[in-house]
Amino acid sequence: MATIELTQGNLESTIKDNDILLIDFWAGWCGPCKSFAPVFEAASEKHPSVTFAKCDTEAEQMVASQFGIRSIPTLAIFREQILLYSQPGALPESALEELIGQVTSLDMEEVRAKVAEAQAQEAAGAGQDQDA
Question: Is residue 55 among the annotated active site residues?
Answer: no
Question: pLDDT tens digits, the chain, 132 residues: what are they?
Answer: 579 999 999 999 999 999 999 999 999 999 999 999 999 999 999 999 999 999 999 999 999 999 999 999 999 999 999 999 999 999 999 999 999 999 999 999 998 999 889 889 888 887 765 555
Concerning whether 30 is annotated as a catalytic residue, the answer is: yes
pTM for the structure as a whole: 0.89
**Would residue 127 count as lying in a domain?**
no
Identify whether 118 is part of a domain: no
Structural domain boundaries enclosing 93: 4-106
Alpha helices, H only, 18-132: 31-46, 61-66, 93-105, 108-131
Catalytic residue among 30, 72, 75, 76: 30
- CATH code of the domain in which 93 resides: 3.40.30.10
Residue among 20, 33, 39, 76 flagged as catalytic? 33
